[in-house]
Amino acid sequence: MPQKESRPQTTKIPTSASVSKRVGGETTRWFCPAKLNLFLHLTGRREDDYHNLQSVFQLLDFGDWLEIELSDTNIIEFDCNQPELCNNDNLVVSAVEHLQKYASQRGLTTTGAKIKLDKKLPVGGGVGGGSSNCASALLAFNQLWQLDMDPQALLTMGLSLGADVPFFIHANTAFVEGIGEILTPVEMAPAWFLVVCPPVHVSTAKIFSNPLLTRNSKAITIRDLDALGLPFSGFNTLEAIVCNDYPEVKAALNWLKQFNQQARMTGTGSCVFAAFDNEREVSKIASRCNWPHFVARGINQSPRQQKNQVSPTIVN
């Protein structure tokens, strides 16, 4: 979960290609939307130990922001309002390094940049924050460095960084299959969501290795989605396992079910959510929530770049 505001730290990495472009000091802001799993079924386990799944990933109008200012230096500087993310292992830095390698192999030039990640989404909450940050970094630097990567190459690079990254590159609410890389855009009915974020980190490896986890959900087709009642109802195969191992998640879910019996978990948690048909109702319930939380509107397509806009802040 986001921590109290502290002085940002900086990670610096050198660019791997020569600098030949003079650039100005304009700062661009790139939205990194959250997602919810409106349902999540596991349909099998692959030989490589990844799981085949089916889900609908619902985009939200709430998320993180990347601020990027190109420079004529040969240094990439990365800052974040969460100091623990200021290292070379975070997905934003990894995305930049992958693009630098791509450029270098083709004799293309890159520049330095100052990157600031304004982190609003909880880390490890099942709302896709890291993957969304990564996708926005790929899209941003592909454009700002004028690399002109074709869409399939960008998607392939994204998949190498994380199974959910291609979804955020597509930036459409979608029916998701495979390990998360098979995407079919869908239109969801308008809805408002209250997302509750228990302050606990759920171990994905622990959940997927649980011997009680079932992986035999019957596969459905996109034509079956209407019968699920999305976005207002759905089922997450992982929910019972997580609630059994993490009492904090169970407590948050039980609280939310007082107001909506179709409340459920997203991804592997820890966040839980419920859908409502109007902002007034969801805001009234949110005012009674003692856990970190946010209110968001479901969107079917995300803007890839926005300037000078203010997004909501997570409530602590």
- pLDDT digits (tens), the chain, 316 positions: 333 333 334 455 444 333 333 355 689 999 999 999 999 999 998 878 788 999 999 999 999 999 999 998 889 999 999 998 998 789 999 999 999 999 999 999 999 999 999 999 999 899 999 999 999 999 999 999 999 999 999 999 999 999 999 999 999 999 999 988 899 999 999 999 999 999 999 998 899 999 999 998 999 999 999 999 999 999 999 999 999 999 999 999 999 999 999 999 999 999 999 999 999 999 999 999 999 999 999 999 987 644 334 333 334 4
Instruction: Give the domain extent around 84.
Output: 9-299
How far is the C-alpha of 261 from the C-alpha of 264, rounded, in Å?
Answer: 9
Catalytic residue among 72, 164, 226, 257: 164
Q: Is residue 193 part of a domain?
A: yes
Q: Is residue 90 part of a domain?
A: yes
Catalytic residue among 35, 114, 116, 250: 35
Q: Decide: helix, strand or coil at residue 288.
A: coil
Active site residue 119: no
Q: Is residue 221 part of a domain?
A: yes
State how many domains the chain has: 1
Q: Is residue 287 part of a domain?
A: yes
CATH number at residue 25: 3.30.230.10
Active site residue 218: no
Q: Decide: helix, strand or coil at residue 293.
A: strand
Give the position of tokens 């059994």: 244
Kindly state the tokens that stand for 92. 């934003």
Pairing of strands 112-118, 75-80: parallel
Kindly report the backbone phi and psi dihedral angles of residue 182, in degrees, each rounded to the nearest multiple of 5, phi listed first. -95, 110
CA-based angle 168:218:274, to the nearest 5? 50
**Which has the closest alpha carbon to 131: 37, 221, 19, 234?**
37
